[in-house]
Amino acid sequence: MIKKKGVLGGNGSCNSFGSSSTINGNEVSFKNVFSTKMYCEQVQQIENKLLGSLEKVTRYEIKDKSLFLYKDKELLLEFAAAEEIKSTE
């Protein structure tokens, strides 16, 4: 995900998406979420859940290398940092 002041953007595996964002302390909101409209059968349900959940988010927490997005006390989404890929060269 790319975050600039007031903007969120990324790729949900199949489609690119974006929204406006507001962050105040640990409160966060994503409004006007939009995406391209390609259909990818293997990931479409997951991507729909991701995009649908973003507009419900009200706060976040960062623990270790994970980002947790909540609607009040309900955990909606969890993101973990990718493991580093070590080159064998």
Looking up residue 67, the CATH number of its domain turns out to be 2.40.128.270
Q: pTM for this structure? A: 0.74
Tens digit of each residue's pLDDT (9 = 90 or more) over 49-87 = 888 899 999 999 999 989 999 999 999 999 888 775 555
Cβ burial, residue 4 (10 Å; 0-12/13-18/19+): exposed
pLDDT for res 7? 82
Tell me if 22 is assigned to some domain. Answer: yes
Tell me if 87 is assigned to some domain. Answer: no
Tell me if 49 is assigned to some domain. Answer: yes
- What strands lie across the sheet with 74-80, from one edge to the other? 2-4, 7-11, 16-24, 27-35, 59-63, 66-71, 74-80
| Residue 7: how many other CB atoms lie within 10 Å | 12
If one counts the domains in the chain, the total is: 1
Tell me if 89 is assigned to some domain. Answer: no
Question: What's the domain range around 11?
Answer: 2-80
Tell me if 59 is assigned to some domain. Answer: yes
Tens digit of each residue's pLDDT (9 = 90 or more) over 42-59 = 888 888 888 889 999 999
pLDDT at 4 over 70: no
